Chain A
Amino acid sequence: MVFSWVRKGLRTGVLTTRYPAVHEQMPEGFRGKPVLDANRCLSDRGCDACVQVCLPSALELKQVAYNDDGGGSFGEWQLTLDYARCIACGLCVTACPTGALRMTDDYELAARHREDLRVVNMFEVPTMLDNLNGREKNNGRPA
């Protein structure tokens, strides 16, 4: 019986991947990580479609005031994509009205520092700050 298993094993041959010596390609459509093309993004103009559908709050939208003490009336919009929170569900890609978000099949996602997983898009468009309640938008998750 042992011999039968050995024969079965040998007949199966070598299937081992040569990664990392050789880069492996994921199948088409594989959900790896989403990427934002900030040029197409309208989050500084009132769009928060992606933030609304992001359950782990990987996408967060907030206004950053020009004055550090928060007393000023001007600031910039900031859209953060945090890959440490992202579950690659793809709902943001579907929700985005301009196609600014797209899913890539990138799978080499690891990082040494938490900050390395955050991509912050600052929209250099001075805007009037909304009242305090409107300033931060995430999907209800404590910051």
Chain B
Amino acid sequence: MIDLVDFCARLSSACGAEQLLTVRLLQDEIAVSLPSHALLAAVHTLRHEFVARFVDLFGLHQSASQGIFHLHLLFALDEEQTWVHLQVDLDKQTPTFPSLVDELPACGWYEREIWEELGITPLEHPLLRPLRLAPDWPQGVYPHLQGFNWSQEVPAAEPHYFELEPAPAGIVNYPLGPVRSGIVESGHYTLRTAGEEIVDMYIQLFYKHRGVEKRAEGLPVELLPLVAERISGASAFAHSLALCQALESLAEVEILPRTLYLRTLLAELERLYNHLGYQADLCQATGLTVAQAQFDLWKERVLRLNATISGHRYLFGMNVPGGVSRDITEQGQQAIRELTVALRRDLETLSRLLLASSSHRDRLETTGILSPQDARLYGAVGPIGRASGVDRDLRRDHPYAAYADIDFEIPALQEGDALARTRVRLEETTQSLAIIDQVLERLPGGPVRVTIPPLPPGRSALGWAESARGECVHWILAGQDGTLQRYRVRPASFANWQAFSLAIPGHNILTDFPVIEQSFGLSFAGADC
């Protein structure tokens, strides 16, 4: 655990001793309030002296306190199992802050988002333009200002589209999307090619922005998990878990032991079907059709198991504030055991065949390399980060549910190519099976749910979970009436998309593109939400 006094002293002196700095320790979170002119120094100190990892940047508008704008930055001190949460008060009339993009390239998207949603300007941001909001969204309408209602009508304005500068001679712009080939999510890529080789790529996402954060505002607490589940359906359990943990943290409620173990079990089942489906998608990209069918069959079997134990193939409805909505019976546990035994056996064969299939392996090796340096700078998380040397996993570094009591390994590689991403996920699949075994062995008895009291007004809390794609971090602020005033979601895919464009240039040819895209296996819905 971090020495709070030492932390305060070092951070204060780095920002200049006369700066006003308040520090509060809430559970695993150090909350620091500081003035805007100390921000750059604080971020620099955190990154270099404390080796903190940037996680999120978002804004908040509190009209109750006469229109105050807050800037929030979240960092992870993984070695100390702690989060550092900076809060900066901004000027009411002209809310601005110095752009952090030079110091932290990963901030780029977050700063654009805060600008379009709240009107807070990051000064000297290199390319300030809208991020999430649709092209026909009118200027000057800021959806995260207090008083903006999720369901209000916003008339269409003249659409504004970002124009790429014209390609130089010999380079071709190759636009793909948002309606793309296959049964895929909507998103746009523009590849720039010189002959066969891809020299650059521009991503245009956020076609699927549904306003999830706004949707959650003002809802009765018991309905909030329904929203969290639908941020990204394939990470439904992880997102609803992060949300429920945030609510439980806010209400200061102790969760029952059986709940913790069941949540671990269900989270790993979700990870299993995602990783199996990932291998199937990658085999589709390389044309290994029998392998694709084999992995798809396993994904289907896990989904059917989910339906048997939870009533829903994607585990919707299992996480509730205070626990899980239903228990897993002896029969259900037996069904899980049978599946894990069969899968473990088959996975050995399938992995061996997969990695020995040269038609598949050759297309993955050295393809789409994301260097460890880029992965760190651009905040890559999850198996994508771990395949490029960013050895971080919330289950080990900030344990939640029952993970602290379970033995498991976190595979990490350095090569950063598509093969590394495949191998990391294959190994994680094996580890998931080991975790499920241990949970079933040690499952404590007792009830699975407690009621949580009404949310204390004005309090905030963090909740987090490692989904199959990486870390999902949620932050909630309770309003005066027991509902949420602000809901902030940072899904794993939002962080990983920025890293994706860096893996494309560099000796990759056009036909590598689908392989690289599938090897990342990102969620558009998660990023856009």
Contact = CB atoms under 8 A, between A and B. Distances in A.
Chain A bound to chain B: yes
Contacts of A12: 294, 297
A55 B349 CA distance: 45
B223 A26 contact: no
A24 to B, nearest CB: 11
8 contacts: A8-B350, A9-B290, A9-B293, A27-B307, A28-B308, A55-B219, A141-B151, A142-B151
Contact of A55 (B223, B304, B307): B223
B54 interface: no
A57 to B, nearest CB: 11
A55 B353 CA distance: 47
Given A29-B308, A103-B311, 8 more contacts: A8-B290, A8-B349, A8-B350, A27-B304, A29-B310, A53-B222, A90-B317, A91-B226
Interface string A43-79: 0000000001101000000000000000000000000
B356 interface: yes
A2 B455 CA distance: 59
Contacts of A26: 307
B222 A8 contact: no
Given A5-B290, A30-B307, A87 B353 contact: no
Given A9-B290, A27-B308, A91 B151 contact: no
Interface string A1-30: 100111011001001000000000011111
Interface in B220-262: 220, 222-223, 226-227
Instruction: Give me the 10 closest cross-chain CB pairs, A-B, nearest first.
Output: A5-B290, A27-B308, A9-B290, A29-B311, A31-B311, A55-B223, A27-B307, A1-B357, A55-B226, A30-B307
Main secondary structure on B side of the interface with A: helix
A89 interface: yes
Interface residues of A, number: 26
A142 B294 CA distance: 46
Contact of A31 (B294, B317, B350): B317
Q: What is the size category of the interface that chain B forms with chain A?
A: 20 to 34
Interface string B31-72: 000000000000000000000000000000000000000000
Interface in B303-349: 304, 307-308, 310-312, 316-317, 349
Interface of B: 151, 219-220, 222-223, 226-227, 288, 290-291, 293-294, 297, 304, 307-308, 310-312, 316-317, 349-350, 353, 356-359
Nearest to A32: B311
B288 A5 contact: yes
Q: Looking at B151, B223, B350, which has the most chain A CB atoms within 10 Å of its CB?
A: B223
A58 B226 CA distance: 14
Contacts of B151: 140-142
Nearest to B300: A15
A62 to B, nearest CB: 19
Given A8-B349, A27-B304, A89 B226 contact: yes
A52 B219 CA distance: 11
B211 to A, nearest CB: 14
Contacts of A103: 311
Interface in A94-116: 103
Given A27-B308, A89-B317, A90-B317, A1 B222 contact: no
A64 B220 CA distance: 28
